[in-house]
Amino acid sequence: MILEIEEIYRPKVLHRRAPTKSGAPLVFDIPRSGNNYPQEFHSPAPFDAVRRSVSMYVEELYNGAPDHGATWLYALFPNVYIDANRHELDVDPAWFEGEWSEPLEPSDKSLRGMGLIPRVCGKGDVVLQETPISAADLRHRLDNYYWPYHNELTGILKEFRESHGVAFHVSCHSMSSVGGKAVADAGRVRSDFDIGTRNGSTTQPEFAEAVIECLKGFGYDVTRDEHFIGAESVRKHGNPENGIHSLQIEINRGIYMDEDSYRRGDRFAEIQGHLSQLAHRLTDFARAQKA
């Protein structure tokens, strides 16, 4: 039996909702949809370009998960301020000022401007920041936003593992309908849903198969590890050998919203209902698993 806790709201950082019924060892994590911009955030980019980088409305799409017994965790801060789906050292040294306690580990993402502290926004072609980030500013963002969010997710999964012997984690994202200029699949038309498992390394295959089967049952075009294999949220928390199974779901924004006007689309309620049914399917799956 999962111990249900009261709702947690930490202003500007995170919102956690407990299951409204008997809990399953399953959490839906929404790390890149926040729109509470810190007062200290400044950018020369037009706001339309800034918000295009955010996975808009994903927290609403999965809003029904607690009604089926899952925990729901939402990062309130925007990924353009600090991206919770990037490694804490994924910073381009050319865009960093000061001394750090350990070597930075820039990836191809940070070198393209889409690392822990993004430098571009919009379709990857609009300058978000023109000056390097200081060591003091980076420390502030990590200590007050990034780590509190990841530590909360770590605690949830640890609680599940200790009380049920197993834990399941869905990291929820959205992707543009066509790959932008700063991503690996630039110019490609994308599927309705892409399930990321880091090529099978972060979860048992049955968990991913349950997701794919459910979504295909609604008639969606579903791929696996095709556009995004899964980034830091599943890499950091997935540990299938120790009973913690993580996967990433990317939903194509074009099927639930207008990517130019940012308005919710005509199918928004329908897709929201399908994702609520997915949560129901996955809580049943999680309850049935044994360590």
Give the per-residue pLDDT at 135.
98
* Domains of the chain in sequence order: 8-39+48-80+145-288 (3.40.630.40)
Give the per-residue pLDDT at 181.
61
Give the per-residue pLDDT at 122.
85
Residue range 6-29, pLDDT digits in tens: 689 999 999 999 998 889 999 999
Give me the sign of the Cα torsion angle 51, 211, 233, 23: positive
Give the per-residue pLDDT at 3.
45
- Show Cβ contacts of residue 47 under 8 Å, excluding neighbours closer than 6 positions: none
CA distances from 237 to 17, 156, 282 (A): 19, 11, 18
User: What does the alpha-carbon distance between residue 286 and residue 289 come to, in Å, rounded to a whole number?
Assistant: 5
Q: For residue 230, give the amino acid letter.
A: G
Give me the sign of the Cα torsion angle 137, 238, 153, 121: positive
Under-70 pLDDT residues of the chain:
1-6, 180-186, 290-291
Give the per-residue pLDDT at 1.
41
- Show Cβ contacts of residue 16 under 8 Å, excluding neighbours closer than 6 positions: 7, 8, 9, 71, 72, 73, 74, 152, 156
| R_g of the chain, CA atoms, integer Å | 18
- Which two three-digit tokens encode residue 284? 């049943």
Give the per-residue pLDDT at 70.
97
Give the per-residue pLDDT at 22.
86
